[in-house]
Chain A
């Protein structure tokens, strides 16, 4: 059974940093690309960042480029999102999602999300 479990969310002040983690199981982590997708309260889905199976290719939404960094650790079956210079507009539930292919594709498994609140 595929499992995806995010952690690391919380309340942070504007300008602060936070690192999200996503531990997965039930599939071969190194065979698939992974992504972070967020959803602001009461709003729709917004893709944030993706990383290929090897970790070589990384993609970012313009809204987070230069502030967020995606990475993965195959020894721990874990995906990360380092978030710096956080803004109120980054407040959202952050979902970790597995892609259907090694380099991308759709999202076939999602975690339950972790809430990030940026506020003073």
Chain B
């Protein structure tokens, strides 16, 4: 099973700042990584697929990068609605696995 480790666990920033979230895989997953945003009481929402492609309707301030084992989600100029929990997920091998999540909170 491929383990995804997200860091930091919690990130405290102010609106307008840039957020960089990390996801590290226990073995190479090529570019088969996705990022999701989840707000309280809501289902997850797909943000990024195949490491760097924005999903339909996702603002350009969200970008993804990386390949192999190291990946990042960058959110430029944070908006109030961006404060949420973010998960990475790999589809390189079964079972599909998720990272433990990064909570992005308002400083």
Tell me how far the C-beta of B41 lies from the nearest C-beta in chain A, rounded to whole angstroms: 9
How many chain B residues have a CB neighbour from A under 8 Å?
Answer: 22
Q: Is the CB of A107 within 8 A of B46?
A: yes
**Once bound together, how far apart are the Cα atoms of A100 and B32, in whole Å?**
12
CB of B83 closer than 8 Å to a CB of A:
no
List chain B residues, Cβ under 8 A from A61.
95
Residues of A contacting B96 in the complex (Cβ-Cβ under 8 angstroms): 35, 47, 50, 104
Residues of A within 8 A of B (CB-CB), count: 20
Q: Are B97 and A112 in contact (CB under 8 A)?
A: no
Which residue of A46, A62, A104, A108 is within 8 Å of B55 (Cβ)? A108
Told that A47-B96, A59-B94, A95-B43 touch, could you supply 13 new A-B pairs with CB distance under 8 A?
A44-B99, A45-B36, A45-B98, A46-B98, A50-B96, A61-B95, A106-B49, A107-B36, A107-B44, A107-B46, A108-B55, A110-B44, A112-B42
Q: CB within 8 Å of A: which residues of B? A: 34, 36, 38, 42-46, 49, 55-56, 87, 89, 91, 94-101
